[in-house]
């Protein structure tokens, strides 16, 4: 499978000397997205959406066509897509809107595998409504969250089940269909955080049958932004916080103020890039590079890998610790060699606590994205091996 590094202008020149394993916290932007943003901002189309003149109409058609592209990428009704700043802002707005529908004694079921943005907004919603917030545990030995552990918490008081499609720290991808089925069987709704899965695997929202799903396009080669998909009838029902003149129907209802049109132009282009490349082919490429990373880490004495062992049915994100060396020191030493990784909890606060790693500084996280290649992995493995030997 051929390299796509040349599609990422930020990796040319001296910046290209870095091995960028920081993809799970945000990827480099693909060429067509950069061009689309520049074209948008130089086109004279910058305006507010929906007015009688050409630029205002162009703003509206940008929103409409990007929803159609997203509908193709994610197998969903285009009318369900809203644009925003990032996932956390959408999670807070969503949980805020749900708060008004909760009654004392209701229950929201979440998981300990989630990024905190899919935990705290729900906890706060429950606290405000007098509802109960419970979290399903994953197995700390394997990093796997069994559907049964979530289903066991779903009862007839449950109004929402909030789940990750992939863990941003461990790469675990829970089996969501049985969870969604169990939630719907008691009349509960399901909110899916697809941020860590969307860059790596094909998502079919219609087949999944969740009620809402969030993704952050800046993790899949687009500019910084957030996208919410919500079943249109649910979107219409929920009491979003809004100012009076703002649209009270349709996908702009959850949006606040003017959308970031230039970012949306980039999102449209990046989504087309993914459609053209094909998520299945992208996943195959990444699984191959990830297997090299995962096996290589496993072969280094003094390195402990944390997370599921299956290189395919997971996000290609490796979490590991080096015996006797704090994760922050490992990350700093790697940075000295122009290898970018993150250390700590990456906002997966519950995950590091459940693993018992909160006190020792969490983990080192190295993520594979489409522009990471075997040669980058070789550099990382050699550097980690040297760190493990030196202690």
Ligand X SMILES: Cc1ncc(COP(=O)(O)O)c(C=O)c1O
Nearer to ligand X, 90 or 240 (CB): 90
3-state SS, residue 57: helix
Tokens encoding 154: 């779903």
Mask for 199-228, x = binds ligand X (CB under 6 A):
-----------------x---------x--
Q: Which is nearer to ligand X, 160 or 385 (CB)?
A: 160
Say whether residue 45 binds ligand X (CB under 6 A). Answer: no
- Measured distance CA(41)–CA(222) in Å, rounded: 16
Of positions 57, 60, 86, 101, contacts ligand X by CB under 6 A: 86
Segment interacting with ligand X (CB under 6 A) among 188-196, 269-277, 301-309, 368-376 = 188-196
Closest residue by Cα to residue 240 from 267, 206, 264, 212: 212
| Interatomic CA distance for residues 171 and 306, integer angstroms | 10
Q: Return the sign of the alpha-carbon dihedral for residues 62, 65, 67, 69.
A: negative
Q: Residue 193 or 376: which CB sits closer to ligand X?
A: 193
87 binds ligand X (CB under 6 A): yes
Cα(369)–Cα(21) distance, integer angstroms: 8
Edge-to-edge strand list for the sheet holding 303-306: 303-306, 317-322, 363-367, 342-344
Q: Which stretch binds ligand X (CB under 6 A): 81-89, 129-137, 184-192, 276-284?
A: 81-89
Residue closer to ligand X by CB (options 23, 361) is 23
Strand arrangement of the beta sheet that strand 81-84 belongs to: 81-84, 226-230, 212-215, 189-193, 158-164, 107-111, 132-136
117 binds ligand X (CB under 6 A): yes
Please, which residues have CB within 8 angstroms of residue 221's CB and are 6 or more apart in sequence? 8, 27, 28, 29, 30, 33, 199, 270, 273, 274, 370
Contact code string over 3-32 relative to ligand X, x by CB under 6 A: ----------------------x-------
Q: Which is nearer to ligand X, 49 or 198 (CB)?
A: 198
| Closer of 45 and 168 to ligand X (Cβ) | 168
**Binder to ligand X among 34, 195, 269, 293 (CB under 6 A)?**
195
| Nearest partner of 115 among 360, 344, 356, judged by Cα | 344
Query: Which residues neighbour 206 within 8 Å (Cβ) at sequence distance 6 or greater?
Result: 75, 76, 77
Q: Does 125 bind ligand X (CB under 6 A)?
A: no
> Does the footprint of ligand X cover residue 88 (CB under 6 A)?
yes
* Dist. CA 7–CA 347, nearest whole Å: 30
**Does residue 172 touch ligand X according to CB under 6 A?**
no
Interface residue with ligand X, options 193, 211, 262, 268 (CB under 6 A)? 193
Contacts with ligand X, residue ranges (CB under 6 A): 25, 86-88, 115, 117, 164, 168, 193, 195-196, 216, 226, 347
């Amino acid at each position: 499978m051929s390299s796509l590094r040349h599609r990422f202008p930020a990796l040319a020149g001296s910046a290209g000397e870095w091995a960028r394993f920081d993809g799970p916290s945000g990827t480099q932007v693909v060429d067509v997205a950069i061009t689309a943003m520049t074209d948008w901002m130089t086109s004279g189309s910058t305006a507010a959406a929906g007015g009688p003149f050409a630029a205002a109409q162009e703003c509206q058609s940008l929103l409409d066509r990007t929803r159609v592209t997203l509908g193709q990428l994610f197998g969903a009704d285009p009318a369900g897509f809203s644009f925003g700043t990032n996932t956390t802002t959408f999670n807070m707005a969503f949980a805020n809107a749900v708060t008004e529908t909760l009654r004392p004694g209701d229950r929201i079921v979440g998981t300990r595998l989630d990024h905190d943005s899919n935990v705290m907004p729900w906890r706060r919603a429950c606290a405000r409504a007098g509802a109960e917030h419970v979290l399903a545990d994953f197995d700390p030995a394997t990093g796997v969250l069994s559907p049964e552990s979530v289903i066991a918490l779903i009862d007839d008081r449950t109004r929402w089940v909030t789940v990750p499609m992939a863990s941003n720290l461990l790469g675990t991808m829970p089996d969501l269909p049985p969870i969604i089925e169990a939630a719907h069987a008691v009349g509960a709704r399901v909110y899916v955080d697809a941020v860590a899965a969307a860059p790596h695997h094909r998502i079919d929202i219609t087949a999944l049958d969740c009620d809402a799903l969030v993704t952050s396009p800046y993790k899949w080669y687009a500019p910084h932004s957030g996208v919410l998909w919500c079943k249109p009838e649910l979107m219409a029902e929920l009491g979003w916080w809004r100012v009076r003149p703002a649209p009270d129907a349709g996908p702009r209802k959850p949006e606040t103020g003017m959308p970031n049109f230039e970012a949306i132009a980039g999102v449209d282009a990046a989504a087309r890039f993914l459609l053209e490349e094909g998520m299945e082919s992208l996943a195959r490429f990444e699984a191959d590079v990830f297997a090299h990373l995962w096996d290589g880490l496993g072969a280094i004495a003094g390195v402990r890998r944390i997370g599921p062992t299956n290189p395919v049915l997971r996000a290609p994100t490796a979490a590991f610790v080096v015996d006797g060396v704090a994760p922050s020191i490992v990350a700093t030493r790697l940075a000295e060699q122009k290898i970018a990784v993150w250390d700590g909890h990456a906002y997966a606060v519950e995950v590091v606590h459940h693993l018992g790693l909160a006190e020792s500084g969490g983990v080192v996280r190295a993520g594979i994205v489409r522009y990471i290649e075997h040669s980058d992995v070789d550099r990382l493995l050699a550097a980690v091996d040297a760190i493990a030997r030196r202690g």
